[in-house]
Amino acid sequence: MKSCCMQSVPPDSSYETFGQPVLDWKARLTAGLNRSIPTTNQTMGDLERQIVQQTQGLEQKLLEEASQRKADQSPPVCPVCGHQLRQVSHGYERTYQSRFGPVTIRRSRGWCKRCKAWRFPADYALGLEDTGGASPSVQEMAALLASKMPVSEASAVLEHLTGVKLPPATLDREARRQGQRAERKRKELDEQMSAGKGSAQCVSIGQQSFTLVIEIDAWNIRERDHWGQSEQQRAKGTEPERWHWVYGGTCFRLDQRSQTDSGRPIILSRGTVMTRGGIDALRQQLFAECLRQGAGQAAEVLVVADGAMWIWNLVADRFGTASQRLDFYHASEHLWAVAHALHPDDARAAHQWIEPLLKKLKAGRSVQVIAELKTVTRRLRAKRRVAAQSQLEYFQTHRDRLDYHIAKKRGQPLGSGAIESTCRQYQCRFKRPGQFWTRSGDEALMCLETFWRNGRWHLLFPHSSDPAKN
Ligand SMILES: [Zn+2]
Protein backbone atom coordinates (compact mmCIF):
# COMPACT_ATOMS: atom_id res chain seq x y z
CA MET A 1 0.00 0.00 0.00
CA LYS A 2 1.33 3.44 -0.90
CA SER A 3 1.80 5.67 2.11
CA CYS A 4 0.32 8.71 0.30
CA CYS A 5 -3.18 7.29 0.48
CA MET A 6 -2.93 6.90 4.23
CA GLN A 7 -1.71 10.33 5.21
CA SER A 8 -4.76 12.51 4.77
CA VAL A 9 -7.17 10.01 6.31
CA PRO A 10 -7.79 10.53 10.02
CA PRO A 11 -5.42 8.33 12.02
CA ASP A 12 -8.30 7.33 14.26
CA SER A 13 -12.06 7.75 14.41
CA SER A 14 -11.87 10.60 16.89
CA TYR A 15 -15.24 12.40 16.82
CA GLU A 16 -13.57 15.82 16.60
CA THR A 17 -12.48 14.90 13.09
CA PHE A 18 -16.08 14.81 11.95
CA GLY A 19 -17.20 18.11 13.49
CA GLN A 20 -20.75 19.25 12.99
CA PRO A 21 -22.54 15.93 12.34
CA VAL A 22 -21.33 14.66 15.69
CA LEU A 23 -22.52 17.76 17.55
CA ASP A 24 -25.96 17.40 15.97
CA TRP A 25 -26.06 13.76 16.91
CA LYS A 26 -25.01 14.44 20.49
CA ALA A 27 -27.83 16.93 20.92
CA ARG A 28 -30.35 14.51 19.39
CA LEU A 29 -29.21 11.62 21.51
CA THR A 30 -29.20 13.58 24.76
CA ALA A 31 -32.67 14.94 24.06
CA GLY A 32 -33.94 11.48 23.18
CA LEU A 33 -32.51 9.81 26.25
CA ASN A 34 -33.64 12.57 28.60
CA ARG A 35 -37.16 12.12 27.30
CA SER A 36 -37.13 8.36 27.76
CA ILE A 37 -35.48 7.90 31.14
CA PRO A 38 -38.10 9.30 33.52
CA THR A 39 -41.15 7.90 31.77
CA THR A 40 -40.34 4.23 31.51
CA ASN A 41 -39.03 1.55 33.75
CA GLN A 42 -35.96 0.64 31.72
CA THR A 43 -33.00 -1.50 32.55
CA MET A 44 -29.52 -0.66 31.41
CA GLY A 45 -30.09 -3.20 28.64
CA ASP A 46 -32.92 -1.08 27.21
CA LEU A 47 -30.68 1.96 27.32
CA GLU A 48 -27.86 0.10 25.60
CA ARG A 49 -30.17 -0.92 22.80
CA GLN A 50 -31.65 2.55 22.48
CA ILE A 51 -28.27 4.25 22.27
CA VAL A 52 -27.10 1.81 19.63
CA GLN A 53 -30.27 2.42 17.59
CA GLN A 54 -29.95 6.18 17.83
CA THR A 55 -26.26 6.30 16.96
CA GLN A 56 -26.30 3.78 14.14
CA GLY A 57 -27.26 6.28 11.45
CA LEU A 58 -24.35 8.47 12.46
CA GLU A 59 -21.85 5.63 12.51
CA GLN A 60 -23.00 4.58 9.07
CA LYS A 61 -22.59 8.13 7.78
CA LEU A 62 -19.15 8.56 9.31
CA LEU A 63 -17.96 5.27 7.85
CA GLU A 64 -19.30 6.15 4.43
CA GLU A 65 -17.69 9.60 4.44
CA ALA A 66 -14.30 8.45 5.69
CA SER A 67 -14.25 5.49 3.31
CA GLN A 68 -15.16 7.73 0.40
CA ARG A 69 -12.31 10.07 1.28
CA LYS A 70 -9.89 7.20 1.34
CA ALA A 71 -11.28 5.90 -1.96
CA ASP A 72 -10.83 9.34 -3.54
CA GLN A 73 -7.20 9.43 -2.46
CA SER A 74 -6.24 6.02 -3.77
CA PRO A 75 -3.66 6.57 -6.53
CA PRO A 76 -4.44 5.10 -9.99
CA VAL A 77 -1.98 2.27 -9.57
CA CYS A 78 -2.60 -1.47 -10.01
CA PRO A 79 -2.83 -2.96 -6.50
CA VAL A 80 -1.53 -6.30 -7.77
CA CYS A 81 1.56 -5.36 -9.81
CA GLY A 82 2.09 -1.67 -9.02
CA HIS A 83 1.78 -0.61 -12.67
CA GLN A 84 0.19 2.77 -13.52
CA LEU A 85 -3.45 2.30 -14.60
CA ARG A 86 -4.75 3.54 -17.98
CA GLN A 87 -8.19 4.69 -19.16
CA VAL A 88 -9.10 5.72 -15.62
CA SER A 89 -12.74 6.71 -15.13
CA HIS A 90 -14.69 7.54 -12.01
CA GLY A 91 -17.96 7.10 -10.16
CA TYR A 92 -18.37 3.30 -10.05
CA GLU A 93 -20.79 2.87 -7.18
CA ARG A 94 -20.89 -0.20 -5.05
CA THR A 95 -22.74 -0.90 -1.80
CA TYR A 96 -21.14 -2.91 0.97
CA GLN A 97 -22.65 -4.47 4.04
CA SER A 98 -20.88 -2.92 7.04
CA ARG A 99 -21.37 -3.41 10.77
CA PHE A 100 -23.44 -0.18 10.72
CA GLY A 101 -25.60 -1.17 7.74
CA PRO A 102 -25.09 -0.68 4.00
CA VAL A 103 -22.58 1.94 2.83
CA THR A 104 -22.16 3.05 -0.77
CA ILE A 105 -18.81 4.07 -2.18
CA ARG A 106 -17.93 5.57 -5.57
CA ARG A 107 -14.65 4.21 -6.90
CA SER A 108 -12.35 4.79 -9.83
CA ARG A 109 -11.53 2.10 -12.33
CA GLY A 110 -8.51 1.72 -14.56
CA TRP A 111 -6.99 -0.79 -16.97
CA CYS A 112 -3.76 -2.52 -15.98
CA LYS A 113 -1.83 -3.31 -19.14
CA ARG A 114 0.50 -5.68 -17.37
CA CYS A 115 -2.21 -7.75 -15.60
CA LYS A 116 -4.63 -7.29 -18.50
CA ALA A 117 -7.43 -6.57 -16.03
CA TRP A 118 -9.67 -3.75 -14.85
CA ARG A 119 -8.69 -2.62 -11.35
CA PHE A 120 -10.41 -0.65 -8.59
CA PRO A 121 -7.52 0.59 -6.40
CA ALA A 122 -9.92 1.87 -3.70
CA ASP A 123 -11.22 -1.65 -3.05
CA TYR A 124 -7.73 -2.80 -2.22
CA ALA A 125 -6.98 0.22 -0.03
CA LEU A 126 -10.22 -0.30 1.93
CA GLY A 127 -9.81 -4.07 2.34
CA LEU A 128 -12.81 -4.85 0.14
CA GLU A 129 -12.96 -7.83 -2.19
CA ASP A 130 -13.69 -8.09 -5.91
CA THR A 131 -16.43 -10.63 -5.47
CA GLY A 132 -17.75 -10.13 -1.93
CA GLY A 133 -20.03 -7.35 -0.74
CA ALA A 134 -18.96 -7.35 2.92
CA SER A 135 -16.83 -4.81 4.76
CA PRO A 136 -13.73 -6.18 6.50
CA SER A 137 -15.55 -6.27 9.86
CA VAL A 138 -18.46 -8.18 8.37
CA GLN A 139 -16.03 -10.53 6.58
CA GLU A 140 -14.52 -11.24 9.97
CA MET A 141 -17.89 -11.74 11.67
CA ALA A 142 -18.95 -14.27 9.03
CA ALA A 143 -15.64 -16.12 9.28
CA LEU A 144 -15.61 -16.31 13.05
CA LEU A 145 -19.24 -17.30 13.50
CA ALA A 146 -19.36 -19.90 10.72
CA SER A 147 -16.23 -21.60 12.02
CA LYS A 148 -17.88 -21.90 15.44
CA MET A 149 -21.49 -22.82 14.64
CA PRO A 150 -23.81 -23.89 11.80
CA VAL A 151 -24.53 -21.03 9.39
CA SER A 152 -28.27 -20.77 10.00
CA GLU A 153 -27.57 -20.33 13.71
CA ALA A 154 -24.68 -17.98 12.96
CA SER A 155 -26.91 -15.77 10.82
CA ALA A 156 -29.52 -15.49 13.59
CA VAL A 157 -26.91 -14.84 16.32
CA LEU A 158 -25.21 -12.18 14.21
CA GLU A 159 -28.43 -10.29 13.59
CA HIS A 160 -29.56 -10.60 17.19
CA LEU A 161 -26.32 -9.32 18.67
CA THR A 162 -25.20 -6.74 16.12
CA GLY A 163 -28.18 -5.99 13.87
CA VAL A 164 -26.10 -7.03 10.83
CA LYS A 165 -28.38 -8.90 8.43
CA LEU A 166 -26.54 -11.64 6.58
CA PRO A 167 -28.84 -14.44 5.32
CA PRO A 168 -27.40 -17.96 5.87
CA ALA A 169 -26.44 -18.49 2.21
CA THR A 170 -24.60 -15.14 2.07
CA LEU A 171 -22.89 -15.75 5.39
CA ASP A 172 -21.84 -19.21 4.22
CA ARG A 173 -20.40 -17.84 0.98
CA GLU A 174 -18.52 -15.09 2.78
CA ALA A 175 -17.11 -17.44 5.42
CA ARG A 176 -15.88 -19.88 2.78
CA ARG A 177 -14.27 -17.06 0.86
CA GLN A 178 -12.45 -16.02 4.04
CA GLY A 179 -11.55 -19.65 4.73
CA GLN A 180 -10.01 -20.02 1.28
CA ARG A 181 -8.07 -16.82 1.93
CA ALA A 182 -6.92 -18.37 5.23
CA GLU A 183 -5.74 -21.49 3.35
CA ARG A 184 -3.66 -19.35 1.01
CA LYS A 185 -2.24 -17.47 3.99
CA ARG A 186 -1.41 -20.73 5.78
CA LYS A 187 0.42 -22.01 2.70
CA GLU A 188 2.41 -18.79 2.44
CA LEU A 189 3.35 -18.87 6.15
CA ASP A 190 4.27 -22.58 6.04
CA GLU A 191 6.44 -22.07 2.97
CA GLN A 192 8.25 -19.22 4.70
CA MET A 193 8.93 -21.47 7.70
CA SER A 194 10.16 -24.40 5.63
CA ALA A 195 12.44 -22.12 3.60
CA GLY A 196 14.09 -20.85 6.80
CA LYS A 197 12.55 -17.37 6.45
CA GLY A 198 9.96 -17.59 9.22
CA SER A 199 11.84 -16.36 12.28
CA ALA A 200 9.20 -13.65 12.83
CA GLN A 201 6.58 -16.39 13.23
CA CYS A 202 8.44 -18.31 15.92
CA VAL A 203 7.37 -18.27 19.54
CA SER A 204 9.96 -16.73 21.84
CA ILE A 205 12.07 -19.29 23.62
CA GLY A 206 14.38 -18.65 26.54
CA GLN A 207 17.87 -20.01 27.04
CA GLN A 208 16.72 -23.09 28.97
CA SER A 209 16.91 -26.44 27.29
CA PHE A 210 13.49 -27.96 26.61
CA THR A 211 11.60 -30.95 25.22
CA LEU A 212 9.11 -30.41 22.40
CA VAL A 213 6.14 -32.80 22.51
CA ILE A 214 4.26 -33.65 19.31
CA GLU A 215 0.95 -35.53 19.38
CA ILE A 216 -0.82 -36.79 16.26
CA ASP A 217 -4.28 -38.25 15.67
CA ALA A 218 -7.10 -38.50 13.13
CA TRP A 219 -10.88 -38.54 13.01
CA ASN A 220 -13.40 -38.78 10.23
CA ILE A 221 -15.82 -36.36 8.67
CA ARG A 222 -18.84 -36.99 6.48
CA GLU A 223 -18.85 -35.44 3.05
CA ARG A 224 -21.19 -35.46 0.11
CA ASP A 225 -19.37 -33.92 -2.79
CA HIS A 226 -21.46 -35.43 -5.57
CA TRP A 227 -25.00 -34.35 -4.75
CA GLY A 228 -27.56 -36.30 -6.76
CA GLN A 229 -24.93 -38.48 -8.46
CA SER A 230 -24.96 -41.41 -6.05
CA GLU A 231 -27.16 -43.59 -8.25
CA GLN A 232 -25.01 -42.95 -11.30
CA GLN A 233 -21.90 -43.83 -9.32
CA ARG A 234 -23.46 -47.04 -8.03
CA ALA A 235 -24.54 -47.95 -11.56
CA LYS A 236 -20.88 -47.69 -12.57
CA GLY A 237 -19.99 -50.03 -9.75
CA THR A 238 -18.46 -47.57 -7.29
CA GLU A 239 -20.06 -46.97 -3.94
CA PRO A 240 -19.79 -43.23 -3.17
CA GLU A 241 -17.38 -42.61 -0.33
CA ARG A 242 -18.89 -40.55 2.50
CA TRP A 243 -16.41 -40.74 5.35
CA HIS A 244 -12.98 -39.17 5.05
CA TRP A 245 -10.05 -38.72 7.39
CA VAL A 246 -9.19 -35.43 9.00
CA TYR A 247 -5.61 -35.41 10.25
CA GLY A 248 -4.45 -33.36 13.21
CA GLY A 249 -1.38 -32.65 15.25
CA THR A 250 -0.37 -30.46 18.14
CA CYS A 251 3.02 -29.49 19.51
CA PHE A 252 4.13 -27.77 22.69
CA ARG A 253 7.09 -27.40 24.98
CA LEU A 254 6.94 -29.71 27.96
CA ASP A 255 7.34 -26.76 30.36
CA GLN A 256 4.12 -25.30 28.97
CA ARG A 257 2.04 -28.02 30.62
CA SER A 258 0.33 -26.73 33.72
CA GLN A 259 -2.84 -26.98 35.80
CA THR A 260 -5.77 -24.71 36.49
CA ASP A 261 -6.61 -23.84 40.11
CA SER A 262 -9.13 -26.67 40.07
CA GLY A 263 -6.47 -29.15 38.95
CA ARG A 264 -7.50 -29.45 35.28
CA PRO A 265 -4.45 -29.95 33.03
CA ILE A 266 -3.85 -27.16 30.53
CA ILE A 267 -1.19 -26.28 27.98
CA LEU A 268 -0.29 -22.61 28.18
CA SER A 269 1.09 -22.24 24.68
CA ARG A 270 0.93 -24.60 21.73
CA GLY A 271 0.44 -24.88 18.00
CA THR A 272 -2.22 -26.99 16.33
CA VAL A 273 -2.79 -28.19 12.77
CA MET A 274 -5.91 -29.87 11.38
CA THR A 275 -6.50 -30.77 7.75
CA ARG A 276 -8.72 -32.74 5.40
CA GLY A 277 -5.99 -32.42 2.78
CA GLY A 278 -4.40 -35.84 3.40
CA ILE A 279 -1.27 -37.10 5.14
CA ASP A 280 1.09 -35.07 2.95
CA ALA A 281 -0.72 -31.87 3.89
CA LEU A 282 -0.52 -32.82 7.57
CA ARG A 283 3.20 -33.54 7.25
CA GLN A 284 3.94 -30.13 5.73
CA GLN A 285 1.73 -28.17 8.11
CA LEU A 286 2.91 -30.01 11.21
CA PHE A 287 6.57 -29.62 10.29
CA ALA A 288 6.14 -25.85 9.85
CA GLU A 289 4.19 -25.62 13.11
CA CYS A 290 6.86 -27.55 15.03
CA LEU A 291 9.52 -25.18 13.70
CA ARG A 292 7.42 -22.24 14.96
CA GLN A 293 7.23 -23.87 18.38
CA GLY A 294 11.00 -24.36 18.54
CA ALA A 295 11.68 -27.85 17.11
CA GLY A 296 15.01 -26.59 15.77
CA GLN A 297 16.27 -25.62 19.23
CA ALA A 298 14.73 -28.44 21.29
CA ALA A 299 17.05 -30.70 23.30
CA GLU A 300 14.60 -33.53 22.66
CA VAL A 301 11.59 -33.98 20.38
CA LEU A 302 9.09 -36.57 21.59
CA VAL A 303 6.15 -37.92 19.56
CA VAL A 304 3.20 -39.53 21.37
CA ALA A 305 0.40 -41.16 19.37
CA ASP A 306 -1.71 -44.28 18.97
CA GLY A 307 -0.61 -47.31 16.95
CA ALA A 308 -1.72 -46.20 13.45
CA MET A 309 1.15 -46.96 11.09
CA TRP A 310 0.66 -43.86 8.92
CA ILE A 311 1.60 -41.82 12.00
CA TRP A 312 4.88 -43.63 12.60
CA ASN A 313 5.74 -43.58 8.90
CA LEU A 314 5.20 -39.82 8.93
CA VAL A 315 7.35 -39.49 12.05
CA ALA A 316 10.18 -41.55 10.51
CA ASP A 317 9.98 -39.44 7.40
CA ARG A 318 9.82 -35.96 8.95
CA PHE A 319 10.96 -36.26 12.58
CA GLY A 320 13.50 -39.07 12.20
CA THR A 321 15.50 -38.32 15.36
CA ALA A 322 12.49 -37.89 17.65
CA SER A 323 11.80 -40.18 20.61
CA GLN A 324 8.59 -42.15 20.08
CA ARG A 325 5.92 -43.30 22.53
CA LEU A 326 2.74 -45.32 22.03
CA ASP A 327 -0.27 -43.83 23.82
CA PHE A 328 -0.60 -45.82 27.06
CA TYR A 329 -4.39 -46.02 26.89
CA HIS A 330 -4.28 -47.61 23.43
CA ALA A 331 -1.59 -50.06 24.57
CA SER A 332 -3.71 -51.12 27.53
CA GLU A 333 -6.75 -51.59 25.27
CA HIS A 334 -4.76 -54.03 23.17
CA LEU A 335 -3.73 -55.89 26.30
CA TRP A 336 -7.38 -56.04 27.33
CA ALA A 337 -8.22 -57.69 24.00
CA VAL A 338 -5.91 -60.56 25.00
CA ALA A 339 -7.43 -60.70 28.50
CA HIS A 340 -10.88 -61.17 26.94
CA ALA A 341 -9.58 -63.83 24.53
CA LEU A 342 -8.10 -65.73 27.49
CA HIS A 343 -11.11 -65.37 29.79
CA PRO A 344 -14.14 -64.65 27.61
CA ASP A 345 -16.67 -65.49 30.33
CA ASP A 346 -14.80 -64.57 33.46
CA ALA A 347 -14.30 -60.85 34.08
CA ARG A 348 -12.54 -61.47 37.39
CA ALA A 349 -9.99 -63.82 35.90
CA ALA A 350 -9.39 -61.35 33.06
CA HIS A 351 -8.69 -58.64 35.67
CA GLN A 352 -6.39 -60.90 37.61
CA TRP A 353 -4.43 -61.72 34.49
CA ILE A 354 -4.07 -58.14 33.22
CA GLU A 355 -3.36 -56.15 36.37
CA PRO A 356 0.24 -57.24 36.97
CA LEU A 357 0.91 -56.82 33.23
CA LEU A 358 -0.37 -53.23 33.22
CA LYS A 359 1.90 -52.53 36.17
CA LYS A 360 4.85 -54.06 34.34
CA LEU A 361 4.01 -52.05 31.23
CA LYS A 362 3.98 -48.81 33.21
CA ALA A 363 7.24 -49.75 34.92
CA GLY A 364 8.94 -50.15 31.53
CA ARG A 365 9.18 -53.96 31.74
CA SER A 366 7.70 -54.40 28.27
CA VAL A 367 10.04 -57.32 27.46
CA GLN A 368 8.31 -59.33 30.18
CA VAL A 369 4.87 -58.30 28.92
CA ILE A 370 5.71 -59.45 25.40
CA ALA A 371 7.13 -62.74 26.75
CA GLU A 372 3.87 -63.35 28.64
CA LEU A 373 1.86 -62.61 25.48
CA LYS A 374 3.92 -65.20 23.58
CA THR A 375 3.29 -67.80 26.28
CA VAL A 376 -0.48 -67.30 26.38
CA THR A 377 -0.80 -67.14 22.60
CA ARG A 378 0.72 -70.63 22.39
CA ARG A 379 -1.89 -71.90 24.83
CA LEU A 380 -4.86 -70.66 22.81
CA ARG A 381 -6.55 -72.31 19.86
CA ALA A 382 -8.52 -71.25 16.78
CA LYS A 383 -10.08 -67.76 16.76
CA ARG A 384 -8.83 -66.86 20.19
CA ARG A 385 -5.31 -67.68 19.18
CA VAL A 386 -5.60 -65.49 16.07
CA ALA A 387 -6.89 -62.63 18.25
CA ALA A 388 -4.02 -62.95 20.73
CA GLN A 389 -1.46 -63.37 17.93
CA SER A 390 -2.49 -60.06 16.33
CA GLN A 391 -2.11 -58.29 19.70
CA LEU A 392 1.31 -59.88 20.19
CA GLU A 393 2.35 -58.52 16.80
CA TYR A 394 1.03 -55.10 17.77
CA PHE A 395 3.26 -55.02 20.86
CA GLN A 396 6.23 -56.35 18.91
CA THR A 397 5.77 -53.62 16.31
CA HIS A 398 5.70 -50.94 19.00
CA ARG A 399 8.24 -52.53 21.37
CA ASP A 400 10.53 -49.47 21.23
CA ARG A 401 7.66 -47.09 21.99
CA LEU A 402 6.74 -48.47 25.41
CA ASP A 403 9.09 -46.44 27.64
CA TYR A 404 6.42 -45.41 30.16
CA HIS A 405 8.86 -45.50 33.09
CA ILE A 406 10.88 -42.74 31.43
CA ALA A 407 7.73 -40.70 30.87
CA LYS A 408 6.98 -40.81 34.56
CA LYS A 409 10.53 -39.96 35.57
CA ARG A 410 10.73 -36.96 33.23
CA GLY A 411 7.21 -35.66 33.74
CA GLN A 412 6.27 -36.37 30.12
CA PRO A 413 2.82 -37.38 28.85
CA LEU A 414 2.01 -41.10 28.79
CA GLY A 415 -0.65 -40.58 26.19
CA SER A 416 -1.84 -38.37 23.38
CA GLY A 417 -4.78 -36.88 25.30
CA ALA A 418 -4.00 -33.31 24.21
CA ILE A 419 -4.57 -33.97 20.51
CA GLU A 420 -7.48 -36.32 21.20
CA SER A 421 -9.35 -33.62 23.09
CA THR A 422 -8.49 -31.07 20.39
CA CYS A 423 -9.97 -33.41 17.76
CA ARG A 424 -13.12 -33.74 19.86
CA GLN A 425 -13.42 -29.95 20.03
CA TYR A 426 -13.25 -29.69 16.23
CA GLN A 427 -15.86 -32.43 16.01
CA CYS A 428 -18.29 -30.31 18.06
CA ARG A 429 -18.48 -28.07 15.00
CA PHE A 430 -17.69 -30.41 12.12
CA LYS A 431 -19.34 -33.67 13.11
CA ARG A 432 -22.88 -32.81 14.14
CA PRO A 433 -25.77 -35.18 13.49
CA GLY A 434 -27.11 -34.89 9.96
CA GLN A 435 -24.19 -32.79 8.79
CA PHE A 436 -22.67 -33.27 5.35
CA TRP A 437 -19.71 -31.27 4.12
CA THR A 438 -17.99 -30.65 0.85
CA ARG A 439 -14.25 -31.07 0.67
CA SER A 440 -13.63 -27.40 -0.05
CA GLY A 441 -16.10 -26.24 2.58
CA ASP A 442 -14.79 -28.19 5.54
CA GLU A 443 -11.11 -27.47 4.87
CA ALA A 444 -11.76 -23.72 4.57
CA LEU A 445 -13.68 -23.43 7.85
CA MET A 446 -11.28 -25.73 9.70
CA CYS A 447 -8.42 -23.52 8.55
CA LEU A 448 -10.18 -20.48 10.06
CA GLU A 449 -10.72 -22.34 13.33
CA THR A 450 -7.02 -23.23 13.43
CA PHE A 451 -5.91 -19.61 12.89
CA TRP A 452 -8.16 -18.63 15.80
CA ARG A 453 -6.81 -21.36 18.09
CA ASN A 454 -3.22 -20.60 17.25
CA GLY A 455 -3.67 -16.91 18.12
CA ARG A 456 -3.04 -15.84 14.51
CA TRP A 457 -6.46 -14.39 13.72
CA HIS A 458 -4.91 -10.92 13.42
CA LEU A 459 -2.90 -12.14 10.42
CA LEU A 460 -6.19 -12.63 8.57
CA PHE A 461 -8.02 -9.60 9.96
CA PRO A 462 -5.39 -7.05 10.96
CA HIS A 463 -8.05 -4.39 11.71
CA SER A 464 -9.61 -6.38 14.48
CA SER A 465 -7.39 -8.01 16.94
CA ASP A 466 -4.87 -7.50 19.57
CA PRO A 467 -2.82 -10.67 19.00
CA ALA A 468 -2.41 -11.16 22.73
CA LYS A 469 -6.13 -11.36 23.21
CA ASN A 470 -7.52 -13.88 20.77
ZN1 LIG B 1 -1.40 -5.07 -12.58
* Residue 287, phi then psi, degrees to nearest 5: -60, -45
* pLDDT of 2: 39
Residue 4 alpha carbon to ligand 1 centre in Å: 19
Question: Residue 112: helix, strand or coil by DSSP?
Answer: strand
Contact 349, 343 (CB under 8 A): yes
Q: Distance, CA 37 to ligand 1 centroid (Å)?
A: 57
| pLDDT of amino acid 39 | 58
**How many A from CA of 131 to the centre of ligand 1?**
18
Q: Ligand 1 mean position to 72 CA, how many Å?
A: 19
Residue 237 CA to ligand 1 center (angstroms) comes to: 49
Q: Residue-wise pLDDT tens for the chain (470 aa)?
A: 333 434 444 444 444 556 677 777 777 777 676 666 655 677 888 888 888 888 888 899 999 999 999 999 999 999 999 999 999 999 999 999 999 999 999 999 999 999 999 999 999 999 998 788 999 999 999 999 999 999 999 999 999 999 999 999 999 999 999 999 999 999 999 999 999 999 999 998 888 899 999 999 999 998 886 666 667 777 777 777 788 899 999 999 999 988 889 988 888 889 999 999 999 999 999 999 999 999 999 999 999 999 999 999 999 999 999 999 999 999 999 999 999 988 989 999 999 999 999 999 999 999 999 999 999 998 888 888 998 999 999 999 999 999 999 998 999 999 999 999 999 999 999 988 878 888 788 999 999 999 999 999 999 999 986 645 54
Distance 87 CA to ligand 1 centre (A): 14
pTM: 0.88
**Any alpha helices (H) in 380-438, and if so which ranges?**
382-397, 404-410, 417-430
In this predicted structure, what is the pLDDT of residue 264? 85
The alpha carbon torsion through 3, 5, 11, 15 (nearest 10 deg) reads 180
What's the gap in Å between 177 CA and the centre of ligand 1?
22
* Backbone angle region of 382, left / alpha / beta, with phi > 0 → left and psi within -120 to 50 → alpha: left
pLDDT for residue 13? 47
Distance 458 CA to ligand 1 centre (A): 27
Ligand 1 centre to CA of 117 (Å) is: 7
- Please give the pLDDT value at position 49: 85
Contact between 351 and 412 (Cβ < 8 Å): no
Residue 126 CA, ligand 1 centroid: distance in Å: 18
- For residue 266, list its beta bridge partners: 258
Euclidean distance between CA atoms 329 and 414, whole angstroms: 8
Determine the distance separating the centroid of ligand 1 and the alpha carbon of 114, expressed in angstroms.
5
Cα 447 to ligand 1 centre (Å): 29
Residue 94 is inside which H or E element, if any? strand 86-98
What pLDDT, on a 0 to 100 scale, did the predictor assign at position 40?
Answer: 65
Give the model's pLDDT for residue 18. 67
What per-residue confidence (pLDDT) applies to 470? Answer: 47
C-alpha 112 – ligand 1 centre gap (Å):
5
Cα 2 to averaged position of ligand 1 atoms, centre (Å)? 15
Q: Distance from the CA of 121 to the center of ligand 1, in angstroms?
A: 10
Provide the 10 A C-beta neighbour count for residue 383. Answer: 9
Number of separate helices (H) and strands (E) present in the chain: 18, 10
User: Residue 98 Cα, ligand 1 centroid: separation in angstroms?
Assistant: 28
- Looking at residue 36, its pLDDT comes to 62
pLDDT value for 131: 80
Output the CA 278–ligand 1 centroid distance in Å. 35
Q: What is the pLDDT of residue 11?
A: 46
How far, in Å, from the CA of 460 to the mean position of ligand 1?
23
Distance 80 CA to ligand 1 centre (A): 5
At 338, give phi and psi (nearest 5°).
-70, -40
For residue 187, how far is its CA from the centre of ligand 1 (angstroms)? Answer: 23
Q: What separation in Å is there between the alpha carbon of 123 and the centre of ligand 1?
A: 14
Beta strands 271-275 and 265-267: pairing type?
A: unpaired
Spell out where 160-293 has E strands: 211-222, 243-253, 257-259, 265-267, 271-275
